[in-house]
Amino acid sequence: TQLLEQSPQFLSIQEGENLTVYCNSSSVFSSLQWYRQEPGEGPVLLVTVVTGGEVKKLKRLTFQFGDARKDSSLHITAAQTGDTGLYLCAGRRGNTPLVFGKGTRLSVIA
């Protein structure tokens, strides 16, 4: 059983479109992180959210942590080809190891 479920698994959109990807769990997390991973590279941290209901913005990316700290979303406005990659969410409960979802593979087409 996957502790963190990410949806959709795959997403292919045209440049300029908006999109939202989701990260859901039945467990409560003390913090949740979003990473982007490109082929042949390790994941790169985009954001960490720790408070229920928290919203963080990183240029065209908006991250939200659910009120109950069980889920999160990533919204991208006006997607660009440079946004292409694997988006991973990862959660931590207390001092336990980071748990990753399987990721959403995003392809932005020019």
Partner 1 sequence: DAGVTQSPTHLIKTRGQQVTLRCSPKSGHDTVSWYQQALGQGPQFIFQYYEEEERQRGNFPDRFSGHQFPNYSSELNVNALLLGDSALYLCASSLGVWQGAGEQYFGPGTRLTVT
In the complex, what is the shortest distance from the CB of residue 65 to partner 1, in angstroms, rounded to a whole number? 11
In the complex, what is the shortest distance from the CB of residue 15 to partner 1, in angstroms, rounded to a whole number? 25
**Using CB under 8 A, which of the segments 28-36, 53-61, 63-71, 73-81 binds partner 1?**
28-36
Decide: helix, strand or coil at residue 83: helix
Tokens of 70: 């069980």
Give residues 47-66 in contact with partner 1 (rule: CB under 8 A): 48, 50
- Counting contacts by CB under 8 A, is residue 28 touching partner 1? no
d(CA 86, CA 99): 16
Handedness of CA 13, 15, 19, 24 (dihedral sign): positive
- Counting contacts by CB under 8 A, is residue 30 touching partner 1? yes
- Counting contacts by CB under 8 A, is residue 31 touching partner 1? yes
Q: Is it true that the peptide bond before 39 is cis, omega within 30 degrees of 0?
A: no
Query: What x/- string results for residues 85 through 104 when contact with partner 1 is judged by CB under 8 A?
Result: ---x-x-x--xxxxxxxxx-
Q: Interface residues with partner 1 (CB under 8 A)?
A: 4, 30-31, 33, 35, 40-45, 48, 50, 88, 90, 92, 95-103
